[in-house]
Chain A
Amino acid sequence: MNSSLLQSIVDYVQSYLSSNQTPGVAGNWFWATVYVLLVFAGVSVGVICMNWLERKILAHMQVRLGPMRVGPHGLLQPIADALKLLLKEDIIPAEADALVFWIAPFIVDLAAFTVFIVVPFGPAHAVTDMNIGILFMLGVSSLSVLGIVTAGWASNSHYPLIGALRSSAQMVSYEVAMGLAVVSAIMMTSLSAEGGTLSMIGIVQRQQEQQVWFVFKFFPLGLVAFAIFAIAMIAETNRAPFDLPEAESELTAGFHTEYSGFRWSLFFLAEYAAMMAVSSIAVTLWLGGWLRPFPNALHGATWDLIFSFFPGLTFLFLGGLCFFNASRMPKHPFFKIQTMGLAAFGAVLGLIGLVLFVPGIRERVQDIFWFTAKVAAFMYLYIWYRGTFPRYRFDQLMKVGWKVLLPTGLALLILTAVVAMRTEVWAEVVVPMWLGFADLLRRIF
C-alpha cells in the first residue's frame, strides 16, 4: 500500500518530464511549485546581483571604486546590506495609517513577483502559459502603482504624498504609450499562419516562424515601437532619468521616505523585480525571447553546437575573471582569506561552467541562458541611463509622455496596421470601401 502510493507519487512527478509543456499547462502541481520556487529564487538572486553591480558600475562610471571593504571587491556587500536592513528598527510613524502603511510594501512586492509566472524562459521553461499572457503582465504590473500610492498616503507626511502623486500620474501617463507599442507588436504576431496571440510563449514562437525578431520587422516600425516601450518602461519602474517619485534633491526619498528596515527593503526588492519584469516583456515581444542570435544567417548543426557552448563559456569567463583578480589582490597577510575566498568563488563559477558543457544540460539550459542574457543587457542599460542622464523636470516628463510618445505610438499603430494588412483584407474590405466612398463623392458633385 505504502510503496504503491510512493510509486504513484514518483509517476506523477515523472509524468511531466516527458511532456514538452510548461507545468501550468500540463497541470502538474509538483513541478508548478518547483518552478515557482525556482523563479522566485532566481529573481531574488538577480536582485542581489543587481544591488552589487549597480553600485560597482555606477562607481566606475563616476571614476570611483564603489564598495571595496566587505569581501573582495565588495562582493559580500549585498549580504551585509541585507543583514543591516533586517536588524534595523521597524518604525511606523505615530500619525501614519498603520494598516495601510503595513500593507503597501506587500502590494508592490506581490505585483512585481506575480508577473513572473508567465515570463517564458524557454518553450517549456515558464510556470504557465496563459492565453492572455501579455495582458496579464501589463495588468498585474500596473497594480504596483496602488502600493506606491497607498504607501505615500499612509505615511501621512508631505514628501511621501507628493512622491506618490507624482508616481501615479507618471505611471498612468506612460502606461498609455506602452500599451500602444505593445499592441503594434501583437499585431505583428497575427501575420503567422496560426493567427495572432497574446500568450508570451506564443509571441516568441511567432517570431521563430516569421524568422525575424519583431524589433527588425517592418523596419523601422518595429524599432520605433521598441524604442517607445524602452522609454516608457523606465518611467513605469520609476528609474532614472524618470525617478521623480523619489527625487532625492526634492523629496528626500519620495514615497518611501518614512519606511525603514525590512519594509524599505521590500520596496527595493520590488523595484528591481519590476525592472526585470518589464525588461523581460521587452525581450519577449521584440528581441525574440529565448531564441539565440542569428538563427537564420548562422544556422546548421555546427553553429547550433557553437552557440550551445555560450552558457558554459560565460561562466568559465566569470570564473577566470575571479582568478585573475585573486592574483592581483594585495599580498599582505591581512588579505589572505579574501584572496582565498575570491579564488574559491571563481572555482565554483568555473565548475558551474564545466557542468553546463554536459550535452544533456547544454541543450536544456541554452534557452534560459539567452533569455537571461538579453534581460541582463537591459539591466545594464538601466544602470547606464542612471549614470548618464540628468533627471527630467516633472512638466518635461509629462510632455515627453503625452506629446511625444503617445502621438508617435498612435501613428505607429496605424502604420503597422496598414503594412501588416493581409492581401485578402485589401481586396475584400479596403478597396470596396474606398470605391464606395469615391462613388458617393461622384454622386454628390
Chain B
Amino acid sequence: MNPLVANPPVATPFFFYLLSGIMIIGGILVITRKNAVHSAIALITALLAQAGLYLMLYAPFVAGVQIILYAGGIMVLFLFVIMLISIERTMKERQFNKQWLVGIAAAAALGGLFISVYAKGKSLFPEGHPLYPEAQNTQAIGALLFDSRTGMYMFAFEIASLLLLVAIIGAVVMAKKRI
C-alpha cells in the first residue's frame, strides 16, 4: 500500500489499461478519419484519457490543466477553424502519402525503443524519487514555480509566457493590416 494516500487506489491496472486503450484507439482514429471534425473529437477523447492517467499518477493539478487548456481551450479553437473549412474538398484529398522508407525506419526505431524498455523493465525507472501526496500536488507545483527560495523554474515559466506573448503579437500583426 502506498503510504502517501489515505485510501489505497482501487483497480489500478484496470483503469490504466482502460485509459491507455482509449488513448491508443483515439490516437489511431485521429489519423485514420477523413473527416477533420471526427479526428478532432477523437483527439479530445484521447486528451481526456490522458488527464485520467495524470490523475492516476497523483498529479491532479496537471490533469486539471490538461482538461482546461487542451480539451477545453485549444481543441475548441481547433474545431472553430475546422468547421469553417469545406469538408467536401478534404474528403476527396489523398490522406496518406507514400513515404514507405521513412515510415519503416521511424516505426523500427520506435519499436526498438519500446522493446528495449519492455526488456529492461523496472531498472530504467528510479524507484524512490520523491512523490508528492495528492493533497499537496498543487501547492508543490506552486512552490516550485513561484516560491522565493524553492522557485527554480520561475525563469523558464516567464520565458514560456514571453513566447506566447510574441505569438499573440504576431497573430495581431498578421490579422490586422492597419493598427
Give the interface of A toward B (CB within 8 A).
25-27, 97, 99-100, 103, 130-132, 135-136, 138-140, 142-143, 145-146, 149-150, 152-154, 161, 164-165, 168-169, 171-172, 175, 195-196, 198, 428-429
Contacts and interface: CB of A to CB of B under 8 A. Distances in A.
Interface of B: 6-7, 10, 35, 37-38, 41, 44, 60-61, 63-65, 67-68, 71-73, 75-77, 79-80, 83, 134-139, 148
A169 B68 CA distance: 16
Contacts of A132: 60-61, 63-64, 138
16 contacts: A25-B7, A97-B37, A131-B138, A132-B60, A135-B68, A140-B67, A143-B71, A145-B72, A146-B72, A149-B80, A161-B83, A168-B79, A172-B73, A195-B139, A198-B138, A429-B148
A201 B24 CA distance: 36
Given A132-B61, A135-B61, A135-B68, A146 B44 contact: yes
B145 to A, nearest CB: 14
Contact of B41 (A103, A135, A198): A103
B174 to A, nearest CB: 19
Contact of B148 (A136, A138, A428): A428
Given A99-B38, A131-B61, A131-B135, 12 more contacts: A27-B10, A130-B60, A139-B72, A143-B67, A145-B72, A150-B37, A154-B37, A165-B80, A168-B76, A169-B80, A175-B72, A428-B148
A152 B84 CA distance: 12
Contact of A142 (B7, B72, B134): B72
Nearest to A142: B72
B14 to A, nearest CB: 14
B36 to A, nearest CB: 11
Chain B facing A: main interface SS: helix
Contacts of A97: 35, 37
Q: Is chain A's binding surface mostly helix, strand, loop or mixed?
A: helix
A169 B138 CA distance: 30
Contacts of B138: 131-132, 135, 198
Contacts of A150: 37, 41, 79
B64 A139 contact: yes
A174 B37 CA distance: 24
Contacts of A135: 61, 64-65, 68, 138
Q: Report, nearest first, the 3 A-B pairs whose CB atoms are least far apart.
A: A27-B7, A142-B72, A139-B67
A97 B63 CA distance: 31
A161 B148 CA distance: 49
